[in-house]
Structure 1
């Protein structure tokens, strides 16, 4: 019984072919493509407003050199947001519950911000490893600690996103299973559990949106340190 709770996190396959790539590309089909008309419809206007809001929030902490990353960060935010929200629908698969995918997104982008800092301002980038005014005996230990905290950033990004979404999906499945099991035995308790499930679903919608924003926001903050 316990193993069935984790079946939702396995990549779906058809004839032995994993369908995770299709599940990652499907959210893009829901976004309306731009057209050449002078007057846009309400959906396109809402989409442009949302993209403008996301880009504005992500670019506020950055200077003009960091604005080159606007398209990449906004696209990543949109991808994570749509995947997380679609994963809350019944009988769907959430690719962002896989640590491998989250690390594949976090590590190259973190490495790009680090290499950007080492190329443009190497002295400042390396200066983060040793705070100013450090006593001489503590210099080797602080350098090791700061290096470890620097290298652990991509792991923290991937694990944070995976753990939050996995915990939410497990809670929803556990409570929904309890609601179905208690319905013929104790209908009143089952209705109360269904109410808790409804509130938890609303919470998970907020968590899916917040985690996508936090993932991209932390990347923008790492970029801010290196430009």
Structure 2
């Protein structure tokens, strides 16, 4: 029994074993127990969808940045897995933890910055000072642009955490209302249950969209540095 609504963001344990471990290994079990060499409708649709999404993500990037396509696609699939885990029973969403999201955001953002500093250091540093800036405003603009550059990984991590946390809290509140009103107000509980189903569908869409947005922003950051 949960003591408060935020207990859903803690890892559940059974017999001293965190249930997040078998939840994370479940996709690997499916992968290795399925014959991936045999093409079927599901694998064909999956391959086509992955190829289409990769093409859409790589459109804004120059040809020099297309070598990052496999890295970004693997990151997005991993985020989709983590985001949707919380919709399964007896587990939780790892990406509702800010530390987890920052551990993903900071290295990937730093990767784009270091790529620009290595390949075109003059152009990358030139982004900190817009062309035609008055002399008196140069120190202030450099400071503002530097802060906006350093705040990007924080925005990535906080955006992902806030969206998933808010959705899970709404689902928890609605499900609690359904259980509370089930015996006393059946009609209201039925309406709340329908709302719960719609919220679950919405949360699934949010999980997919937020993973795509996270990677899409990284591609835009990479485009500035190649």
TM-score of the superposed pair, with normalisation by structure 2: 0.91
Tell whether 2:177 aligns with 1:182: no
Q: Relative to structure 1, is the Cα distance of residues 90 and 12 closer, same or farther in structure 2, using a 3 angstrom cutoff? A: closer
1:81 counterpart residue number: 80
**C-alpha displacement of 1:197:** 1.3
Counterparts in 2 of 1:111-190, with a 5 A limit?
111-190=110-189
2:213 counterpart residue number: 214
**C-alpha displacement of 1:158:** 0.5
CA RMSD between the two structures: 2.1
Tell whether 2:190 aligns with 1:191: yes
**C-alpha displacement of 1:23:** 3.8
Alpha-carbon distance between aligned partners in 1 of 2:35 and 2:157, rounded to the nearest angstrom: 32
Counterparts in 2 of 1:9-20, with a 5 A limit?
9-13=9-13, 18=18, 20=20
Encode CA deviations 1:35-89: one digit per residue, 9 max, x unaligned. 445xx11121122112101211111111111111011000111111122223212
Alpha-carbon distance between aligned partners in 2 of 1:21 and 1:145, rounded to the nearest angstrom: 43
3-state DSSP class of the match of 2:4? Answer: helix
- How many residue pairs match? The answer is 225
Tell whether 2:199 aligns with 1:200: yes
Encode CA deviations 1:102-134: one digit per residue, 9 max, x unaligned. 111110010010000001000110011011111
3-state DSSP class of the match of 1:131? Answer: coil
**C-alpha displacement of 1:15:** 6.2
Kept in 1: contact 2:11–2:91 (CA 8 A): no
Encode CA deviations 1:151-193: one digit per residue, 9 max, x unaligned. 0100110110011001100110001001110111111111111
* Range with bigger deviation, 42-51 or 206-215: 42-51
Kept in 2: contact 1:5–1:170 (CA 8 A): yes
Q: Relative to structure 1, is the Cα distance of residues 193 and 138 closer, same or farther in structure 2, using a 3 angstrom cutoff? A: same
1:6 counterpart residue number: 6
Structure 2: gaps spanning 5 or more residues: none
3-state DSSP class of the match of 1:6? Answer: helix
Kept in 1: contact 2:11–2:92 (CA 8 A): yes
Kept in 2: contact 1:96–1:102 (CA 8 A): yes
Alpha-carbon distance between aligned partners in 1 of 2:196 and 2:220, rounded to the nearest angstrom: 35
Tell whether 2:26 aligns with 1:26: yes
**C-alpha displacement of 1:210:** 0.7
* Range with bigger deviation, 10-19 or 187-196: 10-19
**C-alpha displacement of 1:19:** 5.4
